[in-house]
Every structure is written in structure tokens, then in C-alpha cells.
Amino acid sequence: MGIFTLMILLSIEAMSQTDPCKYYFLFGGGTSLLGTGDMKTLMFENEADVILNHYAAFGISIGYGRSNRGVYETASFVQGNLNGYISPFRNNRKNDFRIGAGLGLMNISDARAVSSIMVDGEIYDDYGFRSRNAFGVNIVLEDNYSITERFTLGIKLFTLPYKGDINSGVLFRLGVKI
């Protein structure tokens, strides 16, 4: 068992010497439509990717969005995603166009006015709050372009249909190859 573990560790070390940029950390910001366009959110996302080869990658991300524009007085969400990516035109380390899919979990909180009363000419609202979790699938199109040996700029288009919810949008991203 120890010899097998040693062989795996040595092969990983040998692969990392031939290709030092197998890991990416990406930070993105943009906008999304929470629900069927009901809430226009400002969204931020962090993603860590592992490049498996010139055609495949794996990533894990966490995103946060918030809005006070739409059918609710306010809404916010936190979502976590596990995605697999395919680079159909080959990741040539300068440009990487990817198609991805995976699983996601989102926690959404929103508030809306449920009643209003007028007292002495002033309107007072009573709010109802709700929080829920949604589980679903991710569909992603993204393109990352290396501006230097270590830094990338990119764009990510996504739709995340969940059971009972949906979140779709666009993020502009800055990446660091590690």
C-alpha cells in the first residue's frame, strides 16, 4: 500500500512540474435574474478550478447576490456549485472556452410587504419574511483569456434551474493561475 501511495505522489509531482498552472482561482461580479426575472440582483462569485487536461476541468464555486429591485422589497441568496467543464476547442492556455454543467444548492431569503396601515398620515408596512433552500442543476458557458502568464479575464453566462426557483445571469471575472 505504501509503494502505491508513493507512486501516486511522485506522478502528481512530475505532472505538476510539466504544467505549473493546473489550478485557477476566479473572482467574478455581475448581475443575475433571481426567479423568472422577478429580482434583478448584483452578484459576486468565487470559484476554484482544477484543470484536469486540455479538454476537461472541475470547479467549485460559492456566490452571493442581493437585490431590492423587483417583486419583493428585498431578496438575497447564497449558492454553492460543483461543476464539470469541457473545453471543446482545447484549452490552449491562452484562451479557454468552456461548457459546463453540475449541481447547485441555493439558500434564498426574501421579504415583502404583506399589509399597510396609515396612522396620522404616515404609512406603516408589515413585512413577511421567508427563507428557503433550492437544489438543482447548472448550465454554464464561459470564456477565459490569459492577459499574462498568471492572470485571466473572462465572462461567464449561466442558468441555474432549481426546483421551484431559477437564477440566470452574466459575470465578468478575473482569474489567477496558481
pLDDT of residue 21: 64
Task: Please report the DSSP string for 73-84 in residue order.
Answer: SEEEEEEEEEEE
Question: What number of other Cβ atoms are within 10 A of residue 152's Cβ?
Answer: 22
Q: Is the pLDDT of residue 162 over 60?
A: yes
- Whether 157 shows a pLDDT value over 60: the answer reads yes
- Pairwise pLDDT comparison (22 vs 103), residue with the higher score: 103
Alpha helix stretches (DSSP H) within the chain: 2-18
- CA 148-151-157 angle, to 5 degrees, is 120
What pLDDT, on the 0 to 100 scale, is given for residue 2? 53
| pTM higher than the cut 0.85 | no
Q: Mean of the pLDDT values across residues 20-39?
A: 86
DSSP-assigned letter for residue 36: T
pLDDT tens sequence across 74-83: 889 999 999 9
Alpha helices in 19-135 (DSSP H): none
Predicted pLDDT of residue 25: 97
Tell me the pLDDT band of 20, cut-offs 50, 70 and 90.
very low
Task: Assign 28 a pLDDT band (cuts: 50, 70, 90).
Answer: very high
What mean pLDDT comes out for the span 20-34?
A: 89
Q: Which structural domains are found in the chain, ordered by start?
A: 24-177 (2.40.160.20)
Query: Sign of dihedral through CA atoms 129, 113, 135, 25?
Result: negative
Q: How many other CB atoms are found less than 10 A from the CB of residue 27?
A: 14
Q: How confident is the model at residue 9 (pLDDT cuts 50, 70, 90)?
A: very low
pLDDT in tens, 129-140: 889 999 999 999
Question: Do 104 and 117 contact (CB within 8 A), yes or no?
Answer: no
Q: What is the pLDDT of residues 89-131, one digit of tens each?
A: 988 878 999 999 999 999 999 888 788 888 888 888 888 888 9
Per-residue pLDDT at 116: 83
